[in-house]
Amino acid sequence: MSPSQVNQDPVQGEFFTAAADLPDRLVRETIQNSLDARRPGETVKVRFAFSGAEHALPVEKARPYLFGLRSHIQAVADGPADSAEAAAMRIALECLDRPMTYLTVGDSGTTGLLGDVEANTELEAGNDFWGFFRSVGISPKSEDSGGSWGLGKWVFPDASSINAYLGVTRRDGEDRDLLMGMAMLKTHHLSDENKYPPYGYFAAGSDSDDDEWLPLPVESSSGGDGLVAQAIRDFSLDRRLEGAGLSVVVPYPRESAEGDDEAALTPATIARAVVIQYFIPIIRGHLEVEIVKPGERRREINAETIEGELGHIAPPRRDDNSLPALRGAIQLARWADRLRDEEHIELPAPQRSDALDALDLPTLRESYDQSERLAFRLALNARRRDPDTTKPVSFRLYLERDDDLPRGHDYFVRGHLRIPGMDHIGNHKARALVLVEGDSELGHLLRDAEGPAHATWDPQAQRLKDRWIGGYDRVQRVRRAALLILQRLVERPEERQFDALADLFPSDLDAARGRSRRQRSGSEQSDPPGPGPIVPPDPPPVRLSDIEGGFSFRASPGAAAAGSTWDLRFAYDVVRGGKGRAFRQFDQGVKQKAPDFSVRNGLAVKHAGCEYEILSHNALRVGVFRDDFRLTVTGFDERDVLVEAVKALSNDSPDVDDAEATA
């Protein structure tokens, strides 16, 4: 590094480690890359192959692939004794002195890493070779792709105990193989006091000065010998029969994890991750996966075998990925894949449950109660900022009741990629499958609502705000469609039950039913006591009013409000359940990181004669210093808003007995 270069250690792993265990991350990112490079009309085949101790490379045979790396690992290992990175690199040094076990991940039915291998400009659009080896945090992929952040390749060094990987690619239309590799460490100094960046390459040699040298791949020779041919033999990467594609070698894979077998890389954990993450493209015949390791049975996961493989994987931790839940989701997906367009119920994507009144709800409720599957095609529109264009879009939703589930689950899939971090229907014993075409305008919008780990659709994502108008509403409609439909399906008309509490409060029910009151035996009819004087309650000192797009909060006429403090809380009203249910439903959305709205971002607050403090997504504390104060909150959609104003005591706890206003 030159003295002027910025010191920056890799942090991209932080985007992934909180989202899933290592097997899930590795499977998710590698298969996503392969599906993004799929050749039209072909089935992508991905093979995970463990060497095991039986096929590990002896130290002498492994040395050419590690040449020059030891001194850099040693430099990081010599760091602070309590440093996690230094401890990890001390383990890496031990690995270098024993035979190299390895894991290879290879694909076929893909294009390989296309693009100019000598290009290294700011953004090489469509240059997959550049994106894989020469960029971090910048993606050359198109909008139709699953990935978009340029960080997915981090899983390869993350899966290696020495934080390194090698890649061999044969590109579509070429008859040569290219070999290149990368190690990701930390910024460090060698004994000569020179400073080195975190990223180092396994690449072709060059006589150029270091500051002018562009790392280039090693090319295979026409005679079938040389380093590339040797690597192909050593790691069993022969692609002559498979054609174009990419094979990645992970040296010294993390095949064990302290006290957590589910976080280790094993055939069983990889098979489980494949089924959980990619059951949709497998069922559609777009993906097949093979997993092999010496001494273990070969696992083949395809459209015919996927359900059988469920019996051979360890039960996942999450309830929505339990084996019965997954089996039900796979069966629902198979049914959905066979449906014709005209077999879907078409309607606008709802914003609230009463928007579904146009449906034949009695018939749908009967079908749902009998556990019949329901299919919907839900329409809305997507509007870009640049250029300002609006296009009609749609997505598909499939529902079924399952009383054997301990709680409900919804499964969201964009293109081939499952988005696992959302679950909204836990209160309903049902499963829902939401499918969005990846190459659609809605797929592009939702892609911009995802973070680097592609774990959730965040309606507050900055890329979504920068590129789309009304993105918040569109994301919420897709996320909450299953919940809103289920709320109407399980709803029943209210009936007056006059004797529901008769055992606790015996009474004469005839009067309540409107019939004449009968004289009871042994009792005298007496006139009811006349009403006492009516004392009107004191009017509240504040009032809430409806305005365009929201509400206003001000003093009642003639009231002295100066010096008071009020807590405001608001939520969209619900068809059934009243105020308590409305606020509980809002809180549930906050827990799922998908609130209906947020005063922190999206709603507009204006005030005069008062000041306010934001307490939460749907709560404000208002301090009044003038009797003619006014505060407005706008930016809601067309749904009714329920607002509660409670006077607060000086100790910051609400005083519900002092004064309250509700609108």
- Model pLDDT for residues 243-301, shown as the tens digit of each residue: 899 999 999 999 887 666 677 899 999 999 999 999 999 999 999 999 999 999 999 99
Burial class (CB in 10 A: 0-12, 13-18, 19+), 445: buried
Per-residue buried b or exposed e for 508-520, using 16+ beta carbons within 10 Å of the residue's own CB: eeeeeeeeeeeee
Residue 55 has pLDDT above 90, yes or no: yes
**Taking residues 5-13, what's their average pLDDT?**
65
Q: Which residue type is seen at 542?
A: V
Residue 205 has pLDDT above 50, yes or no: yes
pLDDT for the residue 519: 44
330-334, 489-493, 554-558: range with lowest mean pLDDT: 489-493
pLDDT at position 29 over 70: yes
> In the structure encoding, which two tokens stand for residue 524, read together?
């005298």
Cis geometry, peptide bond prior to residue 528 (ω within 30 degrees of 0): no
Instruction: Give the Å distances, CA to CA, from 656 to 251, 274, 659.
Output: 65, 53, 6
Residue in 472, 444, 478, 469 with CA at minimum distance from that of residue 458:
472
Residue 48 contacts residue 54 (beta carbons within 8 Å): no
Residue in the structure block whose two tokens are 């659609």: 440
Q: Which two tokens stand for residue 560?
A: 């002295």
- pLDDT (mean) for 86-90: 86
- What is the reported pLDDT for 423? 86
Residue 213 pLDDT: 75
Closest Cα partner for 457 from 443, 440, 470?
A: 443
- Residue 165 bridge partners (DSSP): 182
CATH classification code of 542-662: 2.60.40
* Annotated domain spans of the chain: 23-261, 339-489, 542-662
Residue 577 Ramachandran class (φ > 0 left, ψ -120 to 50 alpha, else beta): left
pLDDT (0 to 100) of residue 209: 66
Most confident residue range from 123-137, 237-251, 512-526: 237-251
pLDDT value for 498: 55
Q: Cα separation of 397 and 433, whole Å? A: 6
Half-sphere exposure (Cβ direction) of 47: Cα atoms closer than 13 Å = 22
Instruction: Please compute the mean of the pLDDT values over residues 308-324 and round it to a whole number.
Output: 78
Res 144: pLDDT: 47
DSSP string over 426-494: TTSSEEEEEEE-TTSHHHHHHHTT--TT-----TT-HHHHHHEESHHHHHHHHHHHHHHHHHHHS----
Does residue 521 have a pLDDT over 50?
A: no
Show contacts of 74-81: CB within 8 Å, 24+ apart: 75/188, 75/189, 75/190, 75/191, 75/196, 76/185, 76/186, 76/188, 79/186, 79/188
- pLDDT, residue 480, reads 92
pLDDT at 34: 92
Task: State the average pLDDT over residues 94-110.
Answer: 94
**Token pair for residue 455?**
């774990």
Contact 377, 344 (CB under 8 A): yes
What average pLDDT score do residues 223-244 get? 81
Q: Is residue 122 scored above 90 in pLDDT?
A: no
pLDDT at residue 651, rounded to an integer = 41
pLDDT of residue 12: 46
Residue with tokens 């790691």: 235
The chain-wide mean pLDDT, for the chain, equals: 83
Written as six digits, the tokens of 36 are: 């993004």
Cα separation of 235 and 218, whole Å? 16
CA distance 599 to 617: 5
Q: 649 exposed, middle or buried (CB, 10 Å; 0-12, 13-18, 19+)?
A: exposed
Q: What is the pLDDT of residue 483?
A: 92
174-189 burial by CB neighbour count: b if 16+ within 10 A, else e? eeebbbbbbbbbbbbe
Q: Does residue 541 contact residue 556 with C-beta atoms inside 8 Å?
A: yes
**Burial class, 160, CB count within 10 angstroms (exposed 0-12 / middle 13-18 / buried 19+):** buried
Residues 209 and 211: their CA atoms lie apart, in Å, by 6
**455-507 pLDDT, tens digit each:** 899 998 898 999 999 999 999 999 999 999 998 898 765 555 555 565 555 55
Do residues 145 and 240 make contact, with C-beta atoms less than 8 angstroms apart?
no
Both tokens of 256, joined, read 């064990």
Q: Which residue has the higher pLDDT, 590 or 511?
A: 590
Return the top range by mean pLDDT from 107-111, 193-197, 560-564.
107-111
What confidence score (pLDDT) does residue 77 get?
A: 87
Please state the rounded mean pLDDT for residues 420-449: 92
